[in-house]
Structure 1
């Protein structure tokens, strides 16, 4: 959702962009309905500096308690995107950003934002997590055997849900009668695409299966 000072009482659904594009230099292009208060504000401002903050909420695509995985804020200056013929496109020139997610909180400089590139699994993550949750629930529960809690036993395995997936690894959320926790399982090397991911997941499941066989309950 886009937040503009002075428009805090605007209807929220009209402040949510229907499309987003990040340009190579780091500017963010946002498409709004032509009647959005954001479009009217940018049109009225003309060449004056109009500050705005894009608030982003990342929600896990699978059913899991506490589904919000993170929040991000991108602040800058809003103008009409004059190089776009379709009405409703606005340009947000980035001034600063911040992220607070499963990996921690961090400030993001504009040059860091511009240099960042999408994770190769990002466009497939929701589908992949949903597939893992529905078709591989048994193998996912095996992964708890790779968690070292100092007892040699899996601390909780009643429910195992895939929470996040990226080129570097898989994050799981385990729940049981004794409580719940998250665990991160790193891939040996970053994956470049679906084929690499398939091999890495098979290797991870094999390692978890072997750990179960060797565990105290074997």
Structure 2
């Protein structure tokens, strides 16, 4: 399974929505707290892009030294229609400063020095050391995951349902009379997580691991083909 640090790094580099919370700072519109770009530097600090006239930027430029604390909250929502769509949240707390001269005109880059990190997702809730986050590598499928899940759901729904044959003791739930839908809810280099939904209400997750970790979409296609073949035997 991916480590907590890898999962957090993947969320940082994903397109999941994020909001930067600064104690005592109030805004008119919530989207004023949402960075339009984010990246991680070699030392593990986050770099967040905002309009130069953003309330967050004003607060950071007025702060002295590292006195301004902030928390970046990232929310991961499944890109397919499924019950309980929030897949996880990551929280990165630290100290916020402005980085002049880096962004384009009319923009400002803010640096969040990483202090405390945690992730609460489909794998569980864990704390992450800043050094672990710095050294972690994002999942290689992160930029394609949403598109891949949507494609599996739309074009391969019948094959997804056949995966219930691999459920072992829960295989009986795959019978047609149960009205069971199989929705691909998460994907990483180690495997596929499927949410089985019975009659549109009750649901449970099952994890189908690949024989070997995949490194790209080409290897993923072969892994999925092997998975569907195993389910059809």
TM-score by length of 2: 0.85
Deviation of 1:36 after TM superposition, in Å, equals: 1.4
Unaligned 5+ runs, structure 1: 211-218
Gaps (5+ residues) in structure 2?
Answer: 1-18
Structure 1 contact 32–39 (Cα < 8 Å) conserved? yes
Q: 2:226 aligns with which of 164, 181, 203?
A: 203
Total equivalences in the alignment? 209
1:158 CA drift (Å): 2.2
Could you say which residue in structure 2 is the equivalent of 1:57?
A: 75
Greater alpha carbon shift after TM alignment, 109-118 vs 77-86 = 77-86
Q: CA RMSD in A?
A: 1.6
Equivalent pair of 2:49/2:103 in contact (CA under 8 Å):
no
Kept in 2: contact 1:79–1:91 (CA 8 A): yes
The 3 A distance-change label for structure 1 pair 79 and 10 is farther
The equivalent of 1:175 in structure 2 is 197
Q: Which residue of 2 aligns with 1:191?
A: 214
1:10 Cα deviation after fit: 5.2
Q: CA deviation at 1:205?
A: 0.2
Q: Work out which of the residue numbers 35, 40, 46 in structure 2 matches 1:22.
A: 40
* Higher RCO (CA < 8 A, seq sep 6+): 2
Contact 1:141–1:157 (CA under 8 A) maintained in structure 2: no
Deviation per CA, 1:111-148: give whole Å up to 9, x if none: 01101111000000000000100110010000011012
Q: Is the contact between residue 21 and residue 28 of structure 1 (CA under 8 Å) also seen in structure 2? A: yes
* Alpha-carbon distance in 2 for matches of 1:10, 1:43: 19
Secondary structure class of the residue paired with 1:181 = strand
Per the TM alignment, residue 12 of structure 1 is displaced from its structure 2 partner at its CA by 1.3
Closer, same or farther in 2 for the Cα pair 1:99/1:120, shift >3 Å? same
* Residue 113 of structure 2: aligned partner: 93
Measured after TM superposition, the shift of residue 154 of structure 1 is 3.1
2:174 equivalent to 1:133:
no
> Partner residue of 2:180?
158
Deviation at residue 92 of structure 1 after TM alignment: 0.4
